[in-house]
Structure formats: structure tokens, C-alpha cells
Amino acid sequence: MPRYNPAQIEPKWQEYWARNKTFAAPQLPGAKKLYVLDMFPYPSGDGLHVGHPEGYTATDIICRFERMRGKSVMHPMGWDAFGLPAEQHAKKTGTPPRITTEKNIGTFRRQLQMLGFSYDWDREVATTDPDYFRWTQWIFLVLFDTWFDRELGRGRPISELPIPADVDASGGQAIRRYQDAHRLAYQSEAPVNWCPALGTVLSNEEVIGGLSERGSHPVVRIPLRQWMLRITAYADRLEQDLAELDWSDSIKTLQRNWIGRSTGAEVDFYIGHPDESPEGRPVAPAFKTWRNERAERGFAATPTSDAIRVFTTRPDTLFGATYMVIAPEHALVPRLTRPAQAAAVREYCERAARKSDLDRTELAKEKTGVFTGSFAVNPVTSRPIPIWIADYVLASYGTGAIMAVPAHDTRDFEFATAFELPIQPVVDPGDDAGVDRDAVLGGVAVFTGEGTSIHSGPYVSLSTADCKQQITDDLAKRGLARPAINYKLRDWLFSRQHFWGEPFPILHELDAAGKPTGLVRTVPPGELPVDLPELAVFETHGSPEPPLEHAPESWLYPVVDGRRYKRETNTMPQWAGSCWYYLRFLDPKNSRELVSRQIEHAWMPVDIYIGGAEHAVLHLLYARFWHKVLYDRGMVSTGEPFQKLVNQGMILGEMELTGYKQADGAWTSAAMVETDDDAQPKLKQTGEAVEAVRVGFDQVEKTGEAFVLKGHPTVRLDSRAYKMSKSRGNVVNPDNVVREYGADALRLYEMFMGPLEATKPWSMEGVNGVRGFLDRVWRMMTAERSERAELNPAVRDVEPTPEQNRVLHKTIHGVTQDLERMSFNTAIAKMMEFTNFYLKCDVRPKSAMQTLVLLLSPLAPHISEELWQLLGHQQTLAYEPWPAFDPAAVHEDEIEIPVQINGKLRARIRVPQGASPQVIEHHARNDERIAALLENQTIRKVVVVPGRMVNFVVG
RNA sequence: GGCCGGAUGGCGAAAUUGGCAGACGCACGGGACUUAAAAUCCCGUGGAGGGAAACCUCCGUGCGGGUUCGAUCCCCGCUCCGGCCACCA
């Protein structure tokens, strides 16, 4: 019996496509271009898992579909191949990372080719290839050569940076240092996230709750000289430009939250002491920065030691600011600390410095802090307020100092309560804010919402919004405040202490004694790439020392123009290569440029980008940032790289059944399972220990609706799907699926499971189900019981009957629409309906069969090509015109519409297509059943929606 | 704690976003073919009740309200599940 044999068909067509370069994209597209991009994979040693082909199949369907509709399609694939696992493998086995990486790429390439994706393999790139990272290094040089012009809101060449007169007068070194302080790539001594277990520094994004994202190891903060990228300069544009993108709102929200724009004001609090009069203190105009990068952003510089600058989103609550808090790392800590408090402050700050982020987070419940002994002056009340130090204020956000308004901020309230500081309510929540108004007004509850000002001098009875505005305006006139915007986004820590990454094209200048001067020179673009040296030692030493420190002297200390330099030994993070790979695909062999200007202009932007939601923040933000810099520098033609973005949902493992066992080993009975009348059964808290146990399918019985444990008919089992993981043993390997069911079945199943963006559980029985569909399609067109596949005698060169034609064109229309809106599961369902119908026909017009093959071909290309050939064609169907929909074919003279009485379906009537409401109502009233039901009823209203339904409202 | 998603048969899901709830598939039940099983084909399948039967009635999209002739869809208030961020002033 002909179950078709994918093991024969699929490799045959894969070879055909490769041999004929069927899917080679043109250098320059025709009139209608389409750039469809997958998030290229990290080629791990485990090979592909079934999550990869989900997105890849979706993009492949789009590409094949649009090629048939006449578009020039760019569909490349490559490898994000730098990364820690290959390096760790090297440490364990001594195998150089390049060898491991090449092997893994080989596996991934084989697996992807086995699935029949229509990539243009001639464009394959790997981030680890020197011909590739040469350009990654080149872009770093662009970043290094760019400063951000705040006036124009864009990046410009460093040569155009205006040099202040005093700097200019100080000469060459001063100018270089000034420029270095303004570059988009700069060095910083700021505290970094050092992970001893991984032996590397991590970006903020790679630290989750004080633990490393990879491996969950503790992370501590230590100061270290690092390369930073000034992504914060672009925060505003990265946020604003989201508006034009065709991305889901949830991803946009994710990015917005990450950028974390807050509007408010900066307010200066002059430092005074109760013994000193705050009056008559001169306004200090000269503001000195205490952190360069914040000054560069144009705000948040802390003024002289005469004042503490804070950022607040609620200037309206200024009258309620009863104390101030500065971060333990704040530059003013030493100056503000009075002798009496010195010991306590020193101890507190040292403890805070030792704490890892995890400790700080874990201890978040209990607020800690210490008084400095100093006071500041509240600029609106002129009263002195105490200045405290507490680690709930972050040095890295805003100005590293806050005004504390305990009545209207939860954290301040907790702190004030713990240290018995005064709580002064200044916002009346009103009666319907959903809070205990009396408690708020009495200063024993916190209210963070908006309301009406009270106890606020001249600002009483203003709304929160008006009050913000007026207080800010008034203080601005006195030079004590200004509107300000702050971002949660921090500058991007761009160096790693890894071997297996891109070396920086940077040389450190050495003085006569061989010590670094702090000045650098770049490796000229013509001398790129800076390749990795041969290196046998991959050990880390529990200190933040990069492996490249052990490189051969000749690599480490190059001599340029007779002068000895030391190479930068940090390497770039894994994100670097993936920030721009979409550009290189367009012109992968270009040895003179990153991408030819003409080619870039013709193909960009990426029209559709599909990948996992795990990259919603980091990769997409970084890539957009680099792209904007390249755009500012005139190297790319679009402001954004990815026009449309779709996140495929996660694929979970197969459903698992769980039972519950008591401590004594007995299974819990149904009596132990509490069922509240509506919800799921829950375990009753009886005080006895109960353990969840995975139940094998051989232990399961089904009675009626529920799964029960065999032999224990009262024990109900919970069914749930879990994330695929090695430890759980529920990982599905695509190789096995292809071997058993074929690539077409795997592709089809991945698309049939549900909407692309949904999280959904795997089911092998489901794969078997779609395989059954493919078998039916095969049988619909091929003869049974023949050695060689032959056309089924039912397939004849005849005109379709009107009914066959209607089904055919309904299918064309439905599938086309569904593919356009990426609703692949319903497109497949429509082709199943087609097949169910035509299998019942004794005569199957060849034209209809050919059309179905074309409709199916984007989803299941191998079987489609085979059937296409069987139907008498010599060439691939990849560029056959997409079937045209004929509306006339689906036209029906009569349509059936439902008739309701009081919204309940009571009958169906047949009316002529396009009948008027009057005619429809007439037909409805004349229907036997309806007439009977309407007898002796008062009809209050008749609603007729032409072509849809009729509703009689009676009673 | 904040933000963003979800919740529809035994299961995965449809319903072209206010108009016939459950398309399509899985699983399951019955039948055909077969010595038998597998495969394949045909029929049935949301729940409850009624009828000899074609059929009929009622209930049904997490829960409680609301808007509407009409709500899976819109509004208000909850419950549960998932994801992301978490002391960001």
C-alpha cells in the first residue's frame, strides 16, 4: 500500500535544488523584493531541536509562496558561532574551539538541508570566519570613530567634535583624551558584573537576579577597565522609532520597558546644616561632573559639593520630601559624612560594596541605611532634611540620589517606617482612589497614585499633573530644577574575558617603562582582521584576566612605526556578530566593503524577521543600535533594520501525566483532591506530605473524561506539558522525526500545531496525523499497487464539475489568504478539506490536482515536486505562478442564512444571493417553523443583516 | 510587586474580530476488509434530557456583573496559568 516514501523523494529533490541552485537570490532584486530573515542559530553541540524548524519553516513557506507570486526573494542562513560552550569544551578536552565549532556547524547544516529549506546556501556566513569578523571589527572602528551630537540627535565623525578652547589650549594629549571621552566606544573603570565561576564579566542583561543568565552562578560587582558602547545616547531614538515598526505590541512594550524612559525633573537640594542658615547661600553655577558618561547624556551631572541633584518623576510631592538618600557609591559620601557618623558610614558602604546583586535583591525586603550626619535644604519648604545613605538607591540610575517622599513612595515609606523618619502626606487621594484615605492623610499608609495637592503652600488643591508643571517651572526660574528624562537603559558593557570571540582592533600605547598610558590607537581598517592567536591555554584563574593575556609575545606586543604597543586582550561579546549579519548576507563575498552600497540600498530593510522571543530585548536592541550608528554615518540607507518582526512561540515537550503520592507511598484518592465548584481539582492541604510523581502511560486508564491511575479509579491525574530539557528527557530530535515520518511531515506538523506565536506542546501522534494527510494526498493522485508511482486513473484531463470547481477555488482563496496572514494551521486545514472532498470523487480533474500541488508546495515542497513531476512537468514548481482565484467559481445563487427568535437559532432559510432585507424577512416569516413560533407573538423588532442572519425580537 | 499575554470538547485548536460556537486534526467508539493484527476505508463523537424514528428541548467559550436584538469577541470587577522585568525614584 502506498504510504509514500519520503526517504527516497526528499533527498532527491534536495539534490535537485542544490544542483540547479534553484533558490539563488539575485545580486540585485527585481521590482518587488522580499528579504526574509531567520534569527541565525548558535550551532550547539546538541544539534537542532524541534524549536528551530518552527520559525525556519514559517519563513521558508513565506519565501516559496512569494517566489511563486513573482517576488525577488532573499533568504539566507548562517551561524552565530562565537560563544562560551565551545570554549568550555576546549578547556575540558583540549579541542580548539574552531574545530568544535566547525563540527557543530556541519551538523546544523546537514540538519537544515535535510528539512528542505530554500536558503541560498552560497550566502552562508559564520561570525567566527575571519572574513566575517574582519567587518565586525571594522564596525567597532566606526563606533570608536563616532560621537553623538546631542543638538542634531545623531552620531557624527569624531573629527567633527568641537573641542573646547581650554582643552584645545592644553595640547595633543588633552584633545585625544577629550575625544576618547566622547566616543560611542569608550573605556570605563565603572563597576562591572564579575562572575568568578564563568571567569568573565557580564553585561547587565546577562545577570538575572544577581545570578548569571548562563549557569546561574553568583555575580559580584568589582571595578574593572572595560569597553563600553554608548547605547544610552540612542535611547530616545530606539524608543521613538519603535512606533513605525510592524512588530507586535508585546515586543514593543518589552523594549520600551527595557529602555525605561521616565519623564520628570531634576531638582537641586543645597547642602546645609541646622546650625548654619540656609538663607543667603549663593547659587553655584559651575556644575562639575562626577561621571563622564552621564554628562555626555546631557543631564544628571551632580552640581558642586554645595548641592545634591536628584531625579524625580513626582516633583509635585516636593513638600512631602522629608529626607534624602544617596547611594553608597555616591561621590559625595565622604564629604557629607560627619565625624560622628564616619565609622558607621564606612562600615555600611564597605558592606554594600561586598554584596553581590543577589544579596541586595534578596535583602530587598528589609531596608537598610545609615545617617550621614548632614542635612540638605528642601527648596520649597526651606527646611533642613537629613541625608541618609542606603543601598535601595542605585548609583547607576538617575543621579544616584533621591528625595524621599515616604507618604507617596512605597520604598521611601518602608525606609521611613524602619528608621522612624517623618511622613508628610501632600497628595489627597480623594474618596474613590481605592485606598484608605484617612490612613494616607494620617501618614500611616502610602499612596502612590495621582490626586490633589495638600500641605503644599501655594500649590494646594492643584491636580498632580498641574502641580508637577508649576513647581518645576517655579524652581526652574530660581535655577534649582529643570525638566529631565531618564532611562533605565545603561551603556552596553562590550568586553568579555573570553578567548573565543572577536579581538578588538585596538592597541594600547605604552610608556617608556612599558606601562599603558591610557591612550590607544586603532588598527587601520586595511590591516583587519585582527585574528586570534594560536593558544593552548584556556584556563581562567578566578580573576578577571582574559585568556589572551597568555598569547605569544609577537601577537601581544606588536611594533608599529617603531613603537611597541600592547594589544587589547578582551574580546567582544557574542552579540557583536549578530548585530549586523543581515547586512553581510546581502554581499557575503565582498572583500572591499562590508556591503556594497547599491546592493544594500536595493535589499534593505529586512521585510520579515522571525525568531524566538528570548531575543526580544537584547539582540534586537543591540542590532537596532548598531544599525542606527551605521545609518548616521551614511553606511546604510534605512533607519531601522527589521521592518516586520514575528516571534514564534515555544514548543513544549509531550503532555505528561502527574499523580500524587503521600509520604507513606499511597496514592492520594479523589477524596484528597479538593474541587472547588468551578476550577481545577487541587490538592487539599491536609498537613500530610504529598509528592507529585510522573506517571507512565502504561499506568494510565481513561474513564469517561478523566485520566486515572490504573487500579485506582478514584485517583485523578493532572496533565501538563513542560519545556523541553535534557534533564527532563522530553527533548524531541528532528533527525528521528524525519527518519520516521519525513521532512514534509515534520514541517507540516510544526505549522499545524497551532498559531505560530503560541506556546504549544509536541505530540508524535499529531505528526502521524499530518503524515496521514500527506499519504492521502499521495493516494489521491497516484495509482495504488504499482511498483513505480503512476498517475491514479481517477486523475483525468477533464473540466471540473461546478461543485469541484467551487471547492477548488474556495481552497485557493482560503490558502492564499491564510498564507498572507501567516495562519499556516488553517491553511493546512483547508487543504485537508479539499483532499477529503476530492478523495470521494471518482473523477479528479488533473487541473485541480495540479493546483493543489502548487498550493501545498510552500509547506511540503518535496512531495509537491514529486507529484508535480508525476503530473507531467519537467521543471521545478518553485517558480510556477501561484494559482489564481476566480470569484465567479465560488458564486452561489442561493445562500443559507440562520433565523433567530430572541437570539436563539430556530431555523435556516435559503434565499437568493444578494437578497434585500425585505425579501429575506419575507422568506423568514414564511418558513414553516418560524411562522408557527411567531404565531400569537408580538414582534417588537426585526433585525436583518443581509447575507448573515435574521433575528425576530418577540415577547 | 509592576508590565505583557492567555483561559473554548478527553487533547491541539477554528470561528475572515459583534451574527449558525467547536472547521481541521489527534484520541476514542462502532462497522468494513483480513485467518488475525497492522495499515486502509466508512460512520459516530461538547454535555444533559426526551423520542420507535427523521428529530426536538435545555445547558455550554475560566468566574461575577454590564452594554446590545444578539457577546468566545466590547466594558467593569475577580480567579487561575504562562512570560518578561523586578528597590529604576
* pLDDT, tens digit (0-9, with 9 covering 90-100), for A328-344: 988 889 888 988 999 99
Convert the pLDDT of each residue in A811-869 to its tens digit. Answer: 999 999 999 999 999 999 999 999 999 999 989 999 999 999 999 999 999 999 999 99
Cα angle A131-A94-A225, degrees, rounded to a multiple of 5: 65
Q: State the pLDDT at residue A704.
A: 46
Q: Of residues A911 and A74, which shows the higher confidence score?
A: A74
pLDDT, tens digit, 9 for 90 and up, residues A73-122: 999 999 999 988 888 888 888 888 999 999 999 999 999 999 999 999 99
Q: Which of residues 635-694 of A touch strand B (CB under 7 A)?
A: 655, 678-680
Report the C-alpha gap between A58 and A111 in whole angstroms.
Answer: 17
Residue ranges of alpha helices (H) inside A300-409 are: 333-336, 342-354, 357-362
Using C1' positions and the CA of A362, the closest nucleotide is: B87
pLDDT tens readout for residues A507-529: 999 988 888 888 999 999 999 89
Q: Per-residue pLDDT for A303 more than 50?
A: no
What is the tens place of the pLDDT at every residue in A171-227? 888 999 999 999 999 998 777 778 877 777 776 667 766 677 777 777 777 778 889
Residue nearest B80, CA–C1′ metric = A679
Looking at every residue in chain A, the average pLDDT score rounds to 85
Average pLDDT estimate for A8-33:
94
Name the pLDDT band for A278 (thresholds 50, 70, 90): very low
ipTM: 0.95
Q: How far is the CA of A870 from the C1' of B28 (A)?
A: 38
Are the C-beta atoms of residues A643 and A606 closer than 8 Å to each other? yes
The DSSP call for residue A263 is E
Helices A861-870 and A743-752: crossing angle in degrees, nearest 10, is 120
pLDDT reported for residue A688 = 45
Q: Is the CB of A801 under 7 A from strand B?
A: no
In angstroms, the CA A876 to CA A864 distance is 10
| CB-CB contact of A61 with A754 (8 Å) | no
Buried b (16+ CB within 10 A) or exposed e, A307-345: bbbbbbebbbbbbbbbbbbbbbbbbbbeebbeeebeeeb
Residue of A357 and A748 predicted with greater confidence: A748
- DSSP letter, residue A158: G
Q: Which residue has the higher pLDDT, A310 or A614?
A: A310
Nucleotides of B under 7 A from a protein CB: 2-5, 9-15, 19-21, 23-27, 39-42, 57-58, 62-63, 69-71, 79-80, 82-89
Any idea which of A59-63, A333-337, A533-537, A824-828 has the lowest mean pLDDT?
Answer: A533-537
Q: Nearest residue to B24, CA vs C1'?
A: A829
pLDDT of residue A696: 60
Look-up: residue for cell 467559481?
Answer: A889
A539 pLDDT higher than 90: no
Say what the pLDDT of residue A424 is: 94
- CA torsion through residues A140, A141, A142, A147, sign: positive
The pLDDT score that the predictor gives to residue A304 is: 44
Of the two residues A898 and A210, the one the predictor is more confident about is: A898
Q: Which nucleotide is nearest to A434 (CA to C1')?
A: B77
Tell me, what's the pLDDT at A681? Answer: 39
Pairing of strands A384-389, A401-404: unpaired
- Chain A 48-77 residues whose Cβ is under 7 Å from strand B: none
The answer to whether residue A690 scores a pLDDT higher than 70 is no
pLDDT (tens digit per residue) in A728-755: 788 899 999 999 999 999 999 999 999 9
> Which residues are registered as beta bridge partners of A174?
none
The answer to whether the CB of A741 falls within 8 A of the CB of A771 is yes
Alpha-helix runs per DSSP H in A245-363:
249-259, 292-296, 333-336, 342-354, 357-362
Cα A387 from Cα A421, distance rounded (Å): 11
Is the confidence at residue A530, as pLDDT, over 50? yes
Confidence band for A229, pLDDT divided at 50, 70 and 90 = very high
Per-residue CA distances from A41 to A732, A865, A887 (Å): 17, 28, 43
- d(CA A643, C1' B71) / Å: 35
Q: Which amino acid is at A329?
A: E
Percent of chain A's residues with pLDDT above 70: 86
Lowest mean pLDDT across A228-237, A477-486, A906-915:
A906-915
The answer to whether A320 and A416 are in contact (CB under 8 A) is no
**Contacts of residue A807, Cβ cutoff 8 Å, sequence gap at least 6:** A833, A834, A837, A838
pLDDT in tens, A795-813: 999 999 999 999 999 999 9
**At what angle are helices A97-114 and A84-93 packed, to 10 degrees?**
120
pLDDT tens-digit profile of A870-880? 999 999 999 99
pLDDT at A288: 29
Is A684's pLDDT higher than 90?
A: no
pLDDT (mean) for A465-469: 92
Q: What is the pTM of this model?
A: 0.90
| DSSP category for residue A642 | B
Output A141 or A490, whichever has higher pLDDT: A141
Residue in the structure block whose three cell numbers are 527648596? A379
Determine whether the distance from the CB of A816 to the nearest atom of strand B is below 7 Å: no
What is the structure's pLDDT at A698?
Answer: 56
Sign of CA dihedral A4, A742, A819, A75: negative
Give the best-scoring range by mean pLDDT among A158-167, A436-445, A668-677: A158-167
- Give me the CA A521–C1' B63 separation in Å, rounded: 67
Residue A702 CA to nucleotide B10 C1', Å?
Answer: 9
Q: Is the pLDDT assigned to residue A419 strictly greater than 50? A: yes
Max mean pLDDT range (A184-188, A300-304, A711-715)? A184-188
Q: Quick one: which residue's CA is nearest to B63's C1'?
A: A678
A717 touches strand B (CB under 7 A): no
Is the CB of residue A107 inside 7 Å of nucleic acid strand B?
A: no
The predicted pLDDT at position A92 comes to: 82
**Distance, CA of A40 to CA of A579 (rounded, Å):** 11
Q: Which nucleotide is nearest to A904 (CA to C1')?
A: B70
Which stretches within A562-617 are classed as H helix?
A: 575-578, 581-584, 597-603
Q: CA A107 → C1' B53, Å?
A: 64
Nearest to A436 by CA among A426, A451, A447, A427: A447
User: pLDDT band for position A323 (50/70/90)?
Assistant: very high
CA angle centred on A199, ends A197 and A202, rounded to 5°: 95
Distance (Å) from CA A735 to C1' B41? 32
Closest CA to A489 of A225, A292, A256, A291: A256
Percent of chain A having pLDDT more than 90?
53
A698: left (phi over 0), alpha (psi -120 to 50) or beta: alpha
- Residue A39 phi/psi, 5° resolution? -70, 115
**Please, are residues A378 and A323 in contact by the beta-carbon 8 Å criterion?**
no
pLDDT at A289: 28
What is the pLDDT, as a whole number, of residue A536? Answer: 64
Categorize the per-residue pLDDT at A18 as very low, low, confident or very high, splitting at 50, 70 and 90.
Answer: very high
